């Protein structure tokens, strides 16, 4: 059995799995592995089926893991530009901006 994406392996008994199947499936979707035990003997493993790494799939995975959250309201381009750090040249590329921010220790 390989480790899950985030290294967490959940354990469940057969009866606990039956009673909380939806909750365990949410954990599997989030990248957790669930090992099923019957009388303290591991009998099965439930793992997420890896899908293509398209942006929507990746975003759904990050959301399921609790690392992102959906927006509460839409954000206009004008408002987004107002939120950008001051002094950043318009021509700056995203990668360059990220490197500068990391180097500044933020």
The CATH number linked to 16 is 3.40.1620
- The per-residue pLDDT for 24 is 93
Question: Beta-strand (E) ranges in the chain?
Answer: 9-13, 33-38, 41-46
Domain assignment of residue 18, given as a range: 1-69
Q: Could you tell me if residue 106 is inside a domain?
A: no
Q: Could you give the number of structural domains in the chain?
A: 1
- φ/ψ bin of 39: left (φ > 0), alpha (ψ from -120 to 50), beta (otherwise): left
Q: Which pTM was predicted?
A: 0.43
- Residue 5: pLDDT above 70? no
Q: Could you tell me if residue 90 is inside a domain?
A: no
Q: Could you tell me if residue 12 is inside a domain?
A: yes
- The per-residue pLDDT for 41 is 92
Q: Could you tell me if residue 102 is inside a domain?
A: no
Q: Could you tell me if residue 105 is inside a domain?
A: no
Q: Could you tell me if residue 17 is inside a domain?
A: yes
Residue 64 · residue 72 · CB < 8 Å: no
Stronger pLDDT, 40 or 80, i.e. the higher one:
40
- Residue 43: pLDDT above 90? yes
């Amino acid at each position: 059995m390989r480790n899950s994406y985030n290294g967490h392996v959940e354990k469940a008994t057969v009866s606990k799995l039956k009673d909380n199947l939806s909750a365990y499936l949410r954990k599997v979707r989030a990248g957790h592995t669930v090992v099923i035990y019957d009388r303290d003997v591991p009998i099965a493993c439930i793992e997420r089926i890896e899908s293509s790494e398209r942006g929507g799939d990746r975003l759904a995975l990050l959301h399921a893991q609790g690392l992102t959250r959906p927006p509460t309201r839409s954000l206009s381009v004008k408002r987004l530009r107002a939120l950008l750090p001051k002094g950043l040249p318009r021509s700056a590329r995203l990668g360059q901006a990220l490197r500068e921010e990391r180097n500044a220790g933020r």
